[in-house]
């Protein structure tokens, strides 16, 4: 059985083992349980992919002849675009499926739909679904590798990876950094994926947000919860600002959006508490003026647009590695 409490992190210099050449799982369902070596492999691969994206001709052949299906059971623009671009950059054929216009409305189950699509001879599935665990169910039922592009409030592993890559590229490391995640952690799959990756890589993680939006016993993931934003940001290297959905106020979890912005909105004054070389991240789409003010979103410390670029690279890396990596031919 899995240990419920993560073991205490012992900080001693560890010899660098050679990177593995492939991921241990056929699927990417979440960052919980993804090892440090696998994360490093994804980052190294993503660095190569960033090189590809800087070339005048941004297309390489490793996924040529493979077909990737993007199954989006939930509205998404950027994640779907990012995956589709990543697939195209790697020369894969892509098919998009979105729930609104298809057999879902006729009452067909997720597994039936995907088995039908698989019978058309596809090679990989990217799935975004409003129910936590839906990608896990698919992974058990079909033969193709499954990439989780966000499942309910569970995980969004490629977003976690792109956030980690952004931090790593800025500071050259992740171990020992202080990362503060601010906002609606309860409903955030982005926060969960970030936390698992950061815990594995040895960062200090602080969470801050309204107590009604903090998950139960979240401390057991290996984080510290703060109620005061300034305290949570004190000396932090990274602040990752979560999107606040307006329906949280409607469902009674918050008294008002106004109070939320006053207490947890990220402003230049708040940033004064952080490490001088800090960065500001946001998974998008932003509610400007609610969780983040424009001066910060567009300010000198913002890495929000580089995050988007890193997203394509990280997704290319994951697709490449799950398709067989160098065994299929180098990028």
Partner 1 sequence: MARPSPFSPRRGTGTLVIAGGRLIDPASGFDGEADLRISKGRIEKIETANRLSARDIERGGGQVLDARGKVVSPGFVDLHVHFREPGREDEETVLSGSQAAVAGGFTTVCCMPNTEPAIDRQEVVQFILHQAESAYCRVLPIAAITRDRKGDILTEMGELKRAGAVAFSDDGSPVEQAATMRRALQYARQFGMPVAAHCEEMSLSAGGSMHEGYASTRAGLRGIPSLAEELMVARDIELAAECGAHLHLCHLSTARSVSLVREAKKRGVKVTAEATPHHFSLTDDLVPERYDTSLKVNPPVRTASDVKAIIKGLQDGTIDCIATDHAPHAREEKELEFDQAPFGLIGLETALCVSITSLVRPGKLSLPELVALLCSRPAGVFGLTAGRLSPGAPADVCVFDPELPVQFQAGSFHSKSQNSPFADRPWVGTVVQTLVDGHIVYDRVAATG
CB of 220 to partner 1, least distance (A): 5
In order, the DSSP letters of 156-216 are -HHHHHHHHHHHHHHHS--TT-EEEEES--TT-HHHHHHHHHHHHHT-EEEEES-GGGSPT
- Rounded Cα distance, 197 and 31, in Å: 6
The smaller minimum CB distance to partner 1, of residues 92 and 190, is found at 190
Examine residue 248 and tell whether it contacts partner 1 (CB under 8 A): no
Which listed residue (136, 169, 288, 301) binds partner 1 by CB under 8 A? 136
The smaller minimum CB distance to partner 1, of residues 108 and 295, is found at 108
Q: Report how many residues bind partner 1 under the rule CB under 8 A.
A: 28
The smaller minimum CB distance to partner 1, of residues 109 and 326, is found at 109
Element (H, E) at 135: helix 134-141
The smaller minimum CB distance to partner 1, of residues 134 and 280, is found at 134
The smaller minimum CB distance to partner 1, of residues 53 and 142, is found at 142
Examine residue 217 and tell whether it contacts partner 1 (CB under 8 A): yes
Examine residue 200 and tell whether it contacts partner 1 (CB under 8 A): no
Asked if residues 36 and 307 have their Cβ atoms less than 8 Å apart, the reply is no
The smaller minimum CB distance to partner 1, of residues 6 and 235, is found at 6
Collapse the DSSP code of 4 into the 3-class scheme (helix H, G, I; strand E, B; otherwise coil) and give the result.
coil
Examine residue 275 and tell whether it contacts partner 1 (CB under 8 A): no
Examine residue 221 and tell whether it contacts partner 1 (CB under 8 A): yes
Asked if residues 218 and 277 have their Cβ atoms less than 8 Å apart, the reply is no
The upper half-sphere exposure of residue 210, i.e. CA atoms within 13 Å in the direction of its Cβ, equals 23
Q: What track of x and - describes contact with partner 1 for positions 141 through 180 (by CB under 8 A)?
A: ----------xxxxx-------------------------
Examine residue 137 and tell whether it contacts partner 1 (CB under 8 A): yes
Q: Which residue has the tokens 């200090």?
A: 204
In order, the DSSP letters of 228-241 are -HHHHHTT-SEEEE
Examine residue 4 and tell whether it contacts partner 1 (CB under 8 A): yes
Asked if residues 100 and 74 have their Cβ atoms less than 8 Å apart, the reply is no
Asked if residues 181 and 207 have their Cβ atoms less than 8 Å apart, the reply is yes
CB of 234 to partner 1, least distance (A): 25
Q: Which stretch binds partner 1 (CB under 8 A): 53-61, 125-133, 259-267, 316-324?
A: 125-133
Examine residue 25 and tell whether it contacts partner 1 (CB under 8 A): no
Output the six-digit token pair for 207.
Answer: 């969470």
Collapse the DSSP code of 118 into the 3-class scheme (helix H, G, I; strand E, B; otherwise coil) and give the result.
helix
Asked if residues 291 and 182 have their Cβ atoms less than 8 Å apart, the reply is yes
Examine residue 253 and tell whether it contacts partner 1 (CB under 8 A): no
The smaller minimum CB distance to partner 1, of residues 215 and 324, is found at 215
Examine residue 206 and tell whether it contacts partner 1 (CB under 8 A): no
Which listed residue (129, 237, 243, 310) binds partner 1 by CB under 8 A? 129
Q: Which of 201, 134, 141 is nearest to 168 (CA)?
A: 201
Residues that bind partner 1 (CB under 8 A): 1-2, 4, 32, 109-111, 129, 131-134, 136-137, 140, 151-155, 189, 192, 215-218, 220-221
């Amino acid at each position: 059985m899995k240990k419920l409490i993560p073991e205490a992190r012992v900080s001693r210099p560890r010899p660098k083992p050679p990177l593995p050449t492939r991921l241990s799982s056929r699927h990417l369902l979440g960052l919980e349980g993804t090892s440090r070596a696998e994360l490093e492999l994804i980052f190294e691969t993503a660095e190569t992919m960033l090189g590809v994206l800087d070339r005048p001709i941004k297309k390489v052949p490793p996924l040529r002849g493979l077909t990737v299906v993007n199954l989006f059971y939930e509205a998404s623009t950027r994640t779907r675009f990012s995956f589709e671009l990543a697939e195209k950059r790697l020369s894969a054929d892509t098919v998009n499926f979105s729930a609104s216009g298809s057999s879902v409305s006729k009452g067909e189950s997720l597994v039936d739909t995907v088995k039908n699509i698989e019978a058309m001879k596809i090679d990989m599935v990217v799935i975004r679904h409003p129910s936590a665990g839906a990608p896990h169910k698919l992974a058990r039922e079909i033969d193709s590798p499954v990439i989780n592009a966000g499942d309910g409030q569970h995980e969004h592993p490629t977003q976690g990876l792109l956030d980690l890559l952004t931090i790593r590229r800025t500071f050259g490391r992740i171990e020992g950094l202080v990362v503060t995640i601010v906002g609606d952690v309860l409903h955030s799959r982005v926060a969960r994926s970030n936390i698992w990756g950061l815990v594995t890589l040895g960062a200090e993680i602080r969470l801050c947000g309204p107590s009604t939006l903090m998950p139960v016993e979240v401390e057991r993931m290996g984080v510290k919860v703060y109620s005061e934003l300034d305290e949570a940001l004190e000396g932090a290297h990274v602040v990752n600002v979560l999107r606040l959905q307006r329906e949280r106020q409607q469902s009674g979890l918050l008294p008002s959006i106004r109070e939320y912005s006053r207490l947890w909105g990220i402003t230049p004054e708040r940033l004064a508490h952080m490490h001088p070389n800090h960065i500001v991240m946001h998974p998008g789409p932003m509610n400007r003026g609610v969780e983040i003010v424009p001066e910060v979103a567009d300010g000198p410390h913002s890495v929000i647009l580089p995050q988007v670029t890193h997203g394509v690279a990280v997704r290319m890396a994951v697709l490449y590695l799950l398709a067989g990596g160098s065994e299929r031919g180098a990028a």
